[in-house]
Structure 1
């Protein structure tokens, strides 16, 4: 028996229950640097119970599709943003909470240049680049205590491209 998740394009509306889409869509909030740079201001809701925001670099291994989704995780004490340090799309998997476990997952593929911010306590898959390099800047909570919960599925989900 298999359970399949079809990948859909990432959009603000579809991703809103889980987090923020980070991109330069629309008109800049203001022009800076002698009018040569558009500032797209305050694009993510960074939310921490305690600790501070920190910037880390992640260098993830590229994955191929179809992909078996065996585990999801969440961070109860802080949001977590991923900004690609390249122009390649990547896979984003999220799920609503269902009594303390992930509900039915959704899979999105970003457009070139998009990043994402998972809201605090949102179930999500691991960082999943689809192309080299797998280099990302991550902005998340730095503080004491564990900020990670994992859920392993009894039966993995299969993630594949929609036709």
Structure 2
């Protein structure tokens, strides 16, 4: 593999072209439950062509860095939100669209407490936990019709950890 991506920290600003970063930052929008719970309201834009939102559980095998990124996929009929059910970092890979195919990918390291919502039609890598357990809640479109496009890369990208 000669192509390399250095994974960088996941930030809302860097990830904005691809989706939303869900995390607790700043003061809560409001306090609820007798002031014992901060509500950080409406942090992701769910977007479905048709169908409905559903919550599924995914249990992915952990991977390691360096990681060979050889498959990207997208969901043209709906956004997809990955919410880790663990407190470990995990890898998020995305790519801009380049004429119906994935462009040059980017890689992000999500910290404990961070989730992502991928915009509808965003090219992304498979769910990639870096530690066990690889348990995630996934909020995405449930409905009839095809909502998955896969693109196998002719030459994989090598994803490494940034300094």
Bucket of the pairwise TM-score, normalised by the shorter protein: over 0.9
Aligned to 1:26: 26
Q: Distance in 2 between matches of 1:44 and 1:54?
A: 15
Deviation at 1:141, TM superposition (A): 0.2
Residues of 1 paired with 2:21 and 2:92: CA distance?
Answer: 11
How big is the alpha-carbon RMSD for the aligned residues of Structure 1 and Structure 2? 0.7
Match of 2:147 in 1: 147
**SS at the partner of 1:13?**
helix
Q: Which consecutive residues of structure 2, in runs of 5 or more, have no partner in the other structure?
A: none
Shift of 1:162: 1.8
Task: Tell me the SS of whatever aligns to 1:120.
Answer: coil
Residue aligning to 2:104: 104
For residues 94-142 of structure 1, the C-alpha deviation after alignment (integer angstroms, 9 at most, x for no partner) is 0000010110000000111100000000000000000111000000000
Q: TM-score when scaled to structure 2? A: 0.98
Q: Does 1:2 align with 2:2?
A: yes
Summarize deviations over 1:58-106 as a string: whole Å, max 9, x none: 0000001111111100000000001011111110000000010110000
CA distance in 1, matches of 2:62, 2:19: 23
Q: Distance in 2 between matches of 1:37 and 1:49?
A: 34
- Find the aligned partners of 1:136 and 1:124 in 2 and give their Cα distance: 16
> Structure 2: how far apart are the matches of 1:39 and 1:81?
19
Counterparts in 2 of 1:128-143, with a 5 A limit? 128-143=128-143
Instruction: Show structure 1 runs of 5+ residues with no match.
Output: none
- Give the Cα–Cα distance (whole angstroms) in 1 for the partners of residues 153 and 139 of structure 2: 27
| 1:27-56 per-position Cα deviation (integer Å, ceiling 9, x unaligned) | 101000000000000000000000000000
Distance 1:54 1:66 in 2: 33
Partners of 2:141 and 2:75 in 1: how far apart?
9
Structure 1 moving runs of 4+ over 2 Å: none
TM-score (norm 1): 0.98
Is 1:86 aligned to 2:86, yes or no? yes
Distance in 2 separating the partners of 1:66 and 1:78: 30
Aligned pairs, number: 163
Q: Counterparts of 1:65 and 1:110 in 2: how far apart (Å)?
A: 14
Aligned residue for 1:125?
Answer: 125
